[in-house]
Structure 1
Amino acid sequence: MLDRIQSYIQEHTLFTPTDKLLVAVSGGLDSVVLAHVLRKLGAQFAIAHCHFGLRGEEADADEQFVRKLAKQYDVPYFAEFFQTKKFAEQEGISTQMAARALRYQWFEEVRSTQGFDYIVTAHHQRDAAETMLLNLTHGTGLAGLHGIRPKNGYLVRPLLAVGREDLYDYLVENRLIWREDASNDSPVYQRNLLRIEVLPVLREINPSLDQTLHITAERVGGAEEIVRRYVEETATQARRDDPEATYLDIRTLQKTAATTLVLHELLRPFGFSYVVVKDIVHSFGAEPGRRFESPTHRLVKDREQLVITPKNLSKFGTHQLAAGQEVLKIDGLHLRTELHEVAEGFDIPKGKAVAALDADALKFPLTVRAWQEGDWFMPIGMKGKKKLSDFLIDQKVPLNLKDNVQVLVSGDGKIAWVIGFRPDDRFKVTEETERVLVVKRM
């Protein structure tokens, strides 16, 4: 097994004997074998362990076990204790997704700050098979069918050369001790359900399933490389990038083989799904003006080209301006504040890019957010309410620019300024005003 792993490392240029490796060790069978193999091969490595705070005393015992293993091998040891459930709730994601995000972010932080060349994980052929089938179940392109790559940036996986049975035999032969994670057998998790219920049936059909899928992944990876080069050649002819937008020539796209596949690869960085891309291709012969959305971008089918622009994602959040805060920078918006004591000779600044507000009428913190349907305010000089949607129509704001309009809101929920247009009459400077907050759009 050592020879196979050594050959695999050399074949895929995973690392050299002089590289410093950060090895992820959970204490389970796979990672314990990985650490032992690297030691046998004379690699320079340290051990990194994640405690996710999910399994109480069992997780504490895992951490102590891995700590002792690092001491036994006389290698540096790094450990991190995460509040995984809290992070999952905060981000609205599953516990497994949260744990994955936290661990890889931390691995990379340790790698970059401590001078390691690569992060090594214990993924093996069975992990790769499970990943391929999970991706296929959820729907995937070529990228999902190649499974787990042996090398992905700073991540390397030398055990993809071998199967789970090989690891177990090695562990028994070398009398290694490991820790078993009971959650690996819980059918609550999709991967475990696949491992427990589905893969045994498939292995009855093909006892060499893991090796077969490993070879299939290599072939798919080769096909993916061919597609990648073809897409790059198409991009040089069809794509034009400007500061405000990306343009794709429709006629060039129509001449490509498998147009939908090629366009999907071109639009993948912009977040467009394959289903949406099929609709885009169907629109090539339609009238111009069709609009398509991804989570991050908007695409408009023009006469001879596709026009892709980023969405203003700041409209999905709010930004606070605390009392005394002088600068607020948001994507596409830079505000500066000045607090003035009213004295004789003070001139109220004029212009759409500035608002002079009665500081004592405001409730802090102030909030900057995108305008919303149903918003209303009292434009300065008026005593009645005005729907913001009607105000923007009166101002002749183009439809595609309305999304960019933001408002400054007092802490009591009242709109104090439609930024770049008009302050609210309730916050205007009067003879009774003692302090003025001047807010400028820079």
Structure 2
Amino acid sequence: MIAKLTDHLSLNLPFLKDKKLLLAVSGGIDSMVLVHLLQQLQLDIYIAHCNFNLRGEESDGDETFIRSYASVNNIPIFVTNFNTKAFAQDNKVSIQVAARQLRYLWFNELLQEHGLDYLLTAHHLDDSIETFLINFTRGTGLEGLTGIPQQNDRVVRPLLPFSRNEIELYAKENNITWREDSSNASDKYLRNKLRHDVVPILKSLNPSFTDSFTQTINYLQQAQSLLQDATVLVYQEVVTEKEGQKHINILQLKRLPNYKAYLYQWLSPFGFTAWDDIYGLTEAQSGKYVISNGYRLLKDREVLILEPLQQAQNEIYEITQNMQQTTNPIGLKLQKVEVIDEISTKNVIYVNNELIKFPLFVRKWQEGDYFYPLGMKGLKKKVSKYFKDEKMSLSDKESTWLLCSENQIVWIIGHRADDRFKTNENTTQILKIEFNNNEKA
């Protein structure tokens, strides 16, 4: 196994040489074999052990065992204790998810604080088989069928080519001691049930199952790589990015064979799961949308707009009489002038300062808001109707601010001023208000 690992590291993971390696060590057979192997290769290793306090004395025994091993073998060690149950309850996640989140947050802290280069875990071939089966039974895309990745950024799994049988044989041949986790014997978790009941049947049906699985995973990983390349190329043709949004051209998208596959590849990283609803957006009316935990996909005429979800903004921002400039929530410049030296535009207006009552307020529009559009001679109009007539998307509406004097709209900022505050030949106090979209908090 030493020779096979040496070849594997040299061929696939040569960057680990001469690096400081943090090993996630539970005390089980897999992690103890990993420690032993890397000791034989004389790599620069450090041990990290988490006590999740889930199995009482057994958990404490694991910690004592690891501390003793590190001391005897002169290996630097980091140990931490977690109240995993409390964390799971507070964050409304399962114990397994809680433990994973806690340990990886801590591992990343260790890497940063101690100048360590990579985190190594003892995942092996059978773990990858179980992950494949879990994803397969739950339903997944191609990426869910490619097993456990050999590397995720600074997390590396050097034992993935090795089966559980190889690891057990190496442990016995080298008299390696380890701790048994009693929870591994329970079929409470899906992974254990697959490990105990399903995988043995597959191996009995095909004695070369692990070799066949490895070959299949390689093929699937190659197919995934090709898909990712194609996805990037098509993305550049169909999607444009601007102001934190991604605009997917529906007409160009639907010219593609299997366009739904591209949507899945582009959108799944943003947490979307309601795929039938997403595919339906291509035929839906403008204004329809689908949300994930943090993002929204909006149909706006001939494009799908992907953007972060914004929290409801009911805030009201005050502009006092002495303020000449503001950047929160948007950039506004206020200046008293003697004459109107340029024509009013969408971004610059002139108002009669005698009609303005300070403080002014900046807020988002609300249902029922109305104003008197400049130049329409006293015609009252609902803000919602103005938005509709201007064919503004839902995203544009939500990002638009109003400048108000008391309960009256002075300006739909960046769009249209109100006629009630306009200047005329008798105006003696002129206030110039300028909108700078690039100056905002």
TM-score, normalised with respect to structure 1: 0.72
State the distance in 2 between where 1:58 and 1:22 align: 24
The amino acid of 1:156's aligned partner reads: V
3-state DSSP of counterpart to 2:8: helix
3-state DSSP of counterpart to 1:393: coil
RMSD: 3.1
State the distance in 1 between where 2:256 and 2:362 align: 48
Contact preservation (8 Å) 2:281, 2:289: no
3-state DSSP of counterpart to 1:312: coil
- From 296, 299, 302, the equivalent of 2:300 is 302
For 1:183-198, list aligned pairs within 5 A: 183-198=183-198
The amino acid of 2:163's aligned partner reads: G
Contact preservation (8 Å) 1:12, 1:151: no
The corresponding residue for 2:361 is 352
Give, in angstroms, the shift of residue 314 of structure 1: 6.4
Give, in angstroms, the shift of residue 211 of structure 1: 3.0
3-state DSSP of counterpart to 2:160: helix
**Aligned pair in 2 of structure 1 residues 186, 397: CA closer, same or farther (>3 Å)?**
farther
Residues 355-402 of structure 1: per-residue CA shift (max 9 Å, x gap): xxxxxxxxxxxxxxx9xxxxxxxxxxxxxxxxxx9x742565659589
The corresponding residue for 1:176 is 176
**Aligned pair in 2 of structure 1 residues 302, 74: CA closer, same or farther (>3 Å)?**
same
The corresponding residue for 2:425 is none
Give, in angstroms, the shift of residue 286 of structure 1: 5.2
Does 1:51 pair with 2:43? Answer: no
Contact preservation (8 Å) 2:360, 2:406: no
TM-score, normalised with respect to structure 2: 0.72
For 1:262-301, list aligned pairs within 5 A: 262-273=262-273, 275-276=274-275, 278-285=276-283, 287-301=285-299
Unaligned runs of 5+ in 2: 316-327, 331-356, 371-381, 388-393, 408-439
The corresponding residue for 2:151 is 151
The amino acid of 2:102's aligned partner reads: L
The corresponding residue for 1:341 is none
**Aligned pair in 2 of structure 1 residues 101, 168: CA closer, same or farther (>3 Å)?**
same
The corresponding residue for 1:201 is 201
State the distance in 2 between where 1:311 and 1:282 align: 20
- Identity across matched positions, percent: 36
Does 1:393 pair with 2:374? Answer: no
**Aligned pair in 2 of structure 1 residues 352, 287: CA closer, same or farther (>3 Å)?**
closer
State the distance in 2 between where 1:171 and 1:180 align: 13
Residues 57-112 of structure 1: per-residue CA shift (max 9 Å, x gap): 11111001101111122111001111111110011110011001111111111012
**Aligned pair in 2 of structure 1 residues 228, 206: CA closer, same or farther (>3 Å)?**
same
Contact preservation (8 Å) 1:51, 1:80: yes
Residues 261-295 of structure 1: per-residue CA shift (max 9 Å, x gap): 1111112233222x52x444455355544422222
The corresponding residue for 2:103 is 103
The amino acid of 1:84's aligned partner reads: T
The corresponding residue for 2:227 is 227
Give, in angstroms, the shift of residue 25 of structure 1: 0.7
3-state DSSP of counterpart to 2:207: coil
3-state DSSP of counterpart to 2:109: helix
The amino acid of 2:368's aligned partner reads: I
State the distance in 2 between where 1:33 and 1:14 align: 20
**Aligned pair in 2 of structure 1 residues 283, 103: CA closer, same or farther (>3 Å)?**
closer
The corresponding residue for 1:329 is none
The corresponding residue for 1:15 is 15
3-state DSSP of counterpart to 1:167: helix
State the distance in 2 between where 1:214 and 1:272 align: 30
**Aligned pair in 2 of structure 1 residues 42, 244: CA closer, same or farther (>3 Å)?**
closer
Residues 188-226 of structure 1: per-residue CA shift (max 9 Å, x gap): 112112212222222222233333222222211111110
The amino acid of 2:93's aligned partner reads: I
Contact preservation (8 Å) 2:359, 2:405: no
State the distance in 1 between where 2:116 and 2:62 align: 24
Give, in angstroms, the shift of residue 351 of structure 1: 2.4
Contact preservation (8 Å) 1:23, 1:45: yes
Give, in angstroms, the shift of residue 187 of structure 1: 1.2
The amino acid of 2:359's aligned partner reads: K
For 1:361-440, list aligned pairs within 5 A: 392-394=367-369, 398=384, 400=394
The corresponding residue for 2:243 is 243
Contact preservation (8 Å) 2:28, 2:179: yes
State the distance in 2 between where 1:4 and 1:420 align: 73
The corresponding residue for 1:410 is none
Residues 288-319 of structure 1: per-residue CA shift (max 9 Å, x gap): 4442222222222333321222212468xx99
The amino acid of 1:350's aligned partner reads: P
Instruction: Give the greater-gyration-radius structure (CA).
Output: 2
State the distance in 1 between where 2:404 and 2:29 align: 62
**Aligned pair in 2 of structure 1 residues 68, 300: CA closer, same or farther (>3 Å)?**
same
Give, in angstroms, the shift of residue 349 of structure 1: 5.8
User: Number of paired residues?
Assistant: 351
The amino acid of 2:198's aligned partner reads: V
Give, in angstroms, the shift of residue 246 of structure 1: 1.5
The corresponding residue for 2:37 is 37
Contact preservation (8 Å) 1:14, 1:150: no
**Aligned pair in 2 of structure 1 residues 394, 285: CA closer, same or farther (>3 Å)?**
closer
State the distance in 1 between where 2:183 and 2:244 align: 48
The corresponding residue for 2:310 is 312
The corresponding residue for 1:366 is none
**Aligned pair in 2 of structure 1 residues 420, 191: CA closer, same or farther (>3 Å)?**
farther
Residues 228-255 of structure 1: per-residue CA shift (max 9 Å, x gap): 1101001111111111522011232223
For 1:80-99, list aligned pairs within 5 A: 80-99=80-99
3-state DSSP of counterpart to 2:202: helix
